[in-house]
Amino acid sequence: MASRKSAEPSPATSARANRQRLAQEEGARAMADVEQRASAVRKNMERLRALRQAREAQGTGVEPAVASTRKKKGQKSSAK
The answer to whether residue 48 sits within a structural domain is yes
Tell me the residue range of the domain where 15 lies.
Answer: 11-57
Whether pTM exceeds 0.85: no
The answer to whether residue 66 sits within a structural domain is no
How confident is residue 7, by pLDDT bands cut at 50, 70 and 90? Answer: confident
- pLDDT at position 63 is 61
Residue-wise pLDDT tens digits, 16-43: 999 999 999 999 999 999 999 999 999 9
- pLDDT at position 47 is 98
Contacts 24+ apart (CB under 8 A), 11-14: none
The answer to whether residue 30 sits within a structural domain is yes
Provide the domain count of the chain: 1
The answer to whether residue 29 sits within a structural domain is yes
- pLDDT at position 27 is 97
The answer to whether residue 22 sits within a structural domain is yes
Is the Cα torsion angle 32, 36, 41, 46 positive or negative in sign?
A: positive
Share of the chain above pLDDT 70, in %: 68
pLDDT, averaged across the chain: 84
The answer to whether residue 64 sits within a structural domain is no
**Cα-flanking dihedrals φ and ψ of residue 52, to 5°?**
-65, -45
Compute the residue count for the chain.
80
Is the Cα torsion angle 72, 76, 77, 78 positive or negative in sign?
A: negative
